[in-house]
């Protein structure tokens, strides 16, 4: 199991440590900046609705989702879903997250290409991610190279999905900061805390991409054992 151990030690385990650190950082940044109330006094719900309205988007709803850090934009239902602490919150963290999710709705409305690509490949990437490891390791155990190659190809789709996700998330965060400051929801000295939350959240997507690439490299190393 030399290549398996090598792949785990030099690729997967460091990526896992990075991912755990990124998750802890976003929780810490969110918790800290949830205590900082924005001077504007608006809620995350107010910000999301105002941004959508100001962008000429009238067919996207703003709803409450369940669970902490469950905020997301559902492009199929055309709904910005915010966790209770963001929907009702007046903190800088709440405003940043709400504006970020509204930014995704704006991307959808203007036809932002990376978002369209991500949505288009999501079903294939999801299927590929679920099927990749069973296919690969059945092929590895049975010494059937075709199954291993199919597993790698399927997982490559999941890696591409993660890579395409990066510009989508960074662009939404950039839109959020510009909208919040430009429309007076935050002042100049409040930009830093909002940026801290958004950067920490974006880092989790970087970590997810690193993990996917590490797993892909591990599969390639294992595949080389059968040549």
Other beta carbons less than 10 A from residue 128's beta carbon: 22
Q: Which residues contact 104 (CB under 8 A, 6 or more apart)?
A: 72, 73, 75, 80, 115, 168, 172
Q: Are 194 and 186 in contact (CB under 8 A)?
A: yes
What is the rounded distance in angstroms from the CA atom of residue 20 to the CA atom of residue 216? 19
Q: Find the catalytic residue in 101, 169, 190, 196.
A: 101
Q: Which residues contact 144 (CB under 8 A, 6 or more apart)?
A: 138
Please say if 190 is a catalytic residue: no
Q: Are 212 and 67 in contact (CB under 8 A)?
A: no
Q: Which residues are the active-site residues? A: 101
């Amino acid at each position: 199991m030399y290549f398996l151990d090598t792949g785990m030690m030099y690729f997967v385990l460091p990526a896992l440590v990075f991912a755990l650190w990124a998750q802890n950082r976003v929780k810490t940044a969110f918790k800290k900046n949830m205590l900082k109330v924005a001077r504007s006094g608006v809620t995350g719900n107010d910000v999301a609705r105002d941004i959508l309205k100001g962008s000429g988007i009238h067919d996207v709803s703003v709803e409450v989702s369940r669970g902490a850090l469950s905020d997301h934009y559902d492009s199929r239902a055309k709904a910005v879903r915010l966790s209770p602490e963001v929907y009702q919150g007046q903190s800088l963290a709440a405003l940043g997250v709400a504006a970020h999710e509204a930014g995704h709705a704006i991307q959808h409305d203007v036809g932002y290409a990376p978002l369209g690509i991500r949505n288009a490949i999501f079903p294939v990437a999801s299927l590929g991610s679920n099927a990749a490891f069973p296919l690969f390791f059945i092929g590895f155990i049975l010494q059937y190279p075709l199954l291993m190659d199919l597993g790698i190809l399927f997982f490559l789709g999941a890696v591409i999905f993660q890579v395409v996700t990066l510009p989508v998330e960074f662009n939404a965060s950039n839109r959020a900061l510009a909208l919040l400051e430009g429309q007076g929801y935050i002042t100049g000295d409040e930009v830093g805390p909002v940026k801290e939350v958004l950067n920490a959240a974006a880092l989790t997507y970087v970590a997810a991409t690193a993990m996917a690439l590490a797993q892909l490299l591990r599969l390639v190393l294992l595949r080389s054992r059968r040549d």
